[in-house]
Structure 1
């Protein structure tokens, strides 16, 4: 009798690469002419990335540089949740960017629902912040992976532990 094949659907971000991207952004901003004599700063904190700048243009420029550095380091920018722009002290502007780790319950339910609507003989179950898909046929699992790659859940999905 054939054993069940399975894989896990996760959404993770390599925090070391995020740290590297933040450091590269700091370096580029310190060298740019339009940021000369600027108090703009970017820091990686426990709750996410905090950006402080004098005006909206510099704030947007810093975010753009950060996203470019993350793309170059293969960090999924879909997992960045841009917070609202707030006024900070001294006429500065602040924005916090949260980094989404794992699949939220609501999105996990949507993934499971979409897999069940495919009418393929596979089972999908939510396991914490990931989804496990199992079935008897590897071809069915490949179809599920191809289907999910075409969907947009506002987060980057990775497929691991394929066995």
Structure 2
């Protein structure tokens, strides 16, 4: 029996589910009557997503379709950071959607401080873009998970490597 238990707090998403979501959105946009002739293009890069379309109205409709498809595929909507749309040539609109992944240094420090202030029997270590929380009791780790789930953060949190 181990004398200490631990888990990692990370912020990540399933890349393949995102790729499948984008494919579904492209198909949906190509078939919907109101979006079919808008010339909408959706490009997926490593850390962002670019939507180019005919107008603000069609951009809003494409965003709604993206949110619906992502929700159906169990992707958190918190991974999408919608930037403000910008006008491009030919009366078209482009919007960059940044994909959030990993805990920023500031957020990791904030979560670490919250856990340390509320739970005295756990220790927290920041490891790059994740947090490692250790304790002698599994009950303390469960309390830490509940505490973190109650926090309102801008990124989705997952709890991994529970041992």
Q: Same fold (TM over 0.5)?
A: yes
Instruction: Please list every run of 5 or more consecutive structure 1 residues that lacks an aligned counterpart in the other structure.
Output: none
Q: CA deviation at 1:2?
A: 5.3
Q: CA deviation at 1:46?
A: 2.6
Distance in 2 between residues matched to 1:49 and 1:8, nearest whole Å:
28
Measured against aligned partners, the alpha-carbon deviations of 1:117-161 in whole angstroms (never above 9, x if no partner) come to 103310011000000000101101000101111111111100000
State the superposition RMSD in angstroms: 1.2
CA contact (8 A) 1:39 1:54 kept: yes
Query: 2:41 matched to which residue of 1?
Result: 41
Distance in 1 between residues matched to 2:38 and 2:119, nearest whole Å:
57
Query: 1:114 matched to which residue of 2?
Result: 114
Distance in 2 between residues matched to 1:130 and 1:123, nearest whole Å:
14
TM (normalized to structure 1)?
0.96
Query: 2:29 matched to which residue of 1?
Result: 29
Distance in 2 between residues matched to 1:49 and 1:101, nearest whole Å:
13
Query: 1:154 matched to which residue of 2?
Result: 154
CA contact (8 A) 1:11 1:101 kept: yes
Distance in 1 between residues matched to 2:77 and 2:11, nearest whole Å:
12
TM (normalized to structure 2)?
0.96
Distance in 2 between residues matched to 1:38 and 1:56, nearest whole Å:
11
Local SS of the residue matching 2:84: coil
CA contact (8 A) 1:6 1:162 kept: yes
Distance in 2 between residues matched to 1:25 and 1:41, nearest whole Å:
10
Instruction: Please list every run of 5 or more consecutive structure 2 residues that lacks an aligned counterpart in the other structure.
Output: none
Q: Give runs of ≥4 in structure 1 deviating > 3 Å.
A: none
CA contact (8 A) 1:120 1:140 kept: no
Q: Does 1:82 align with 2:82?
A: yes
